[in-house]
Amino acid sequence: MGKTITVAIDGPAGAGKSTMARRLAERLGFVYIDTGAMYRAIALSARRLGIGWDDAARLEKLAREARIELPGGGRVLLDGEDISLEIRDPEISEGASRVSAIPGVRRALVEKQQQMGREASVVMEGRDIGTVVFPDAEVKIYLDATPEERTRRRLKDLAARGVQAGFAQVLSEIQRRDERDSTRADSPLRQAPDAIYVDSTSMNEDEVEEALLKIVRARTSNGKEVTS
């Protein structure tokens, strides 16, 4: 197998990581990996089985045994079942943030993510990709936007799925999740020292895509790593 390239995109909830990672992967011909969807799959499975979001031993077992597939087109399969829509439920967003603070769950999912990155060139997005999952990634981007702008984007996403929610409620959910994701002891959300910071607050999607593509192209050439 030839050398694979890893593009790591980290940042807080609602910064546009999923949209941008998917678009970049399409442009580059890489595989898109949404690691948040993997934590969401574990949270959904726990809820269905009546496992508490702080039951570390059972959650770790669940994460080790879960067969999570990301076959493309934003689809997420858990043990063969399509759970793409169910994992976007606000309760599962909160649950994913809770279960992702458990070290055993992280260890299990990080191993799966590292395996995926070894098999193909990937654009992988999450909270700890550039810091923990692939500290040697060829390209690291930290994508950010103000909490208010991230709330507006999240409301648009929810509306597109037919879910009505209030601004204040979504803003406070985002802030609570940011706080938990960036203060947990294990692999908190943090910008890697060698990641490039992109503030997308006043950029549209096409502008962000071009900015990210420029960063990737500066670091890689024709699918190969630039070494000089």
List residues near ligand DC by CB under 6 A: 13, 35-36, 39-40, 93, 96-97, 100, 126-128, 177, 181
Shortest distance, CB of residue 104 to ligand DC, whole angstroms? 13
Which lies closer to ligand DC via its Cβ, residue 82 or residue 225?
Answer: 82
Shortest distance, CB of residue 221 to ligand DC, whole angstroms? 28
Q: For residues 48 and 61, what is the distance between their CA atoms, to the nearest angstrom?
A: 15
| Burial bucket for residue 201 (CB in 10 Å: 0-12, 13-18, 19+) | exposed
Which lies closer to ligand DC via its Cβ, residue 103 or residue 223?
Answer: 103
Report which residue type is found at 100.
S
Q: For residues 78 and 11, what is the distance between their CA atoms, to the nearest angstrom?
A: 25
Which lies closer to ligand DC via its Cβ, residue 182 or residue 221?
Answer: 182
Shortest distance, CB of residue 92 to ligand DC, whole angstroms? 8
Specify whether the CB–CB gap between 30 and 137 falls below 8 A. no
Which lies closer to ligand DC via its Cβ, residue 4 or residue 19?
Answer: 19
Which lies closer to ligand DC via its Cβ, residue 45 or residue 97?
Answer: 97
Shortest distance, CB of residue 227 to ligand DC, whole angstroms? 28
Shortest distance, CB of residue 123 to ligand DC, whole angstroms? 13
Residues 6 or more apart whose CB falls under 8 angstroms from that of 28 comprise 7, 121, 123, 216, 223
β 122-126/196-199 pair status: unpaired
Report which residue type is found at 142.
Y
Which lies closer to ligand DC via its Cβ, residue 4 or residue 175?
Answer: 175
Shortest distance, CB of residue 174 to ligand DC, whole angstroms? 9
Q: For residues 130 and 190, what is the distance between their CA atoms, to the nearest angstrom?
A: 9
Specify whether the CB–CB gap between 8 and 130 falls below 8 A. yes
